[in-house]
Amino acid sequence: MAEQATHGSHQHDDVGHHVPLWLLAAVLLVLLVLTFITVGSVWWIDLGHTGNLLMAMIIATIKGTLVALYFMHLRYDKPIIAIILIAALFFVALFTIVALIDTGQYQPDITDYRAVDPDARSAPLLQLQQ
């Protein structure tokens, strides 16, 4: 009589994808280099406030994509998952760009307000509530 496999003894060899250790180590090395570039760019390269922010956002997007592709195994999953990831990153970038454009629009008003009242540390509405 054939022995039945119990739930605990059954091997699931066909489930998931096994990523080679050398590939994970290479991705980790790239992530560390990108982190070093991000931190080093603040000290050594001055692209201005907007330039440094843009460079940090681009590097963070690359790092997040690498983590999602290799450590979360999305590279080996169905293509629709990658499309959803790209769409999500697009909408995050769109939101960030709109927020930065909005900040650029009202920044002159804040500068003018602080020129009139140099002791102002917060927005006028917050000062009225105090």
The pLDDT of residue 92? 87
Nearest 10 degrees: CA dihedral of 68, 85, 19, 28?
Answer: -30
On whether the CB atoms of residues 73 and 17 are closer than 8 A, the answer is yes
The string of pLDDT tens digits covering residues 8-27 is 555 655 666 777 889 889 99
| 74: pLDDT strictly greater than 70 | yes
Assessment of whether the complete model's pTM goes beyond 0.75? no
* Range with lowest mean pLDDT among 43-47, 90-94, 123-127: 123-127
What does the pLDDT look like over 22-61, one tens digit per residue?
988 999 999 999 999 888 877 777 777 777 778 888 888 8
128: which 2 tokens? 């009225």
Q: Coil, strand or helix: which one is 123? A: coil
The DSSP annotation for 85-121 comes to HHHHHHHHHHHHHHHHHHHHHHHHHHHHHHHH-TT--
Identify whether the C-beta of residue 16 lies closer than 8 Å to the C-beta of residue 73: yes
Place of tokens 């991000």: 38
Q: Where residue 120 falls among pLDDT bands split at 50, 70, 90?
A: low
Q: pLDDT at position 34, please?
A: 93
What is the residue-wise DSSP string for 44-92?
H---HHHHHHHHHHHHHHHHHHHIIIIIS-GGGS-HHHHHHHHHHHHHH
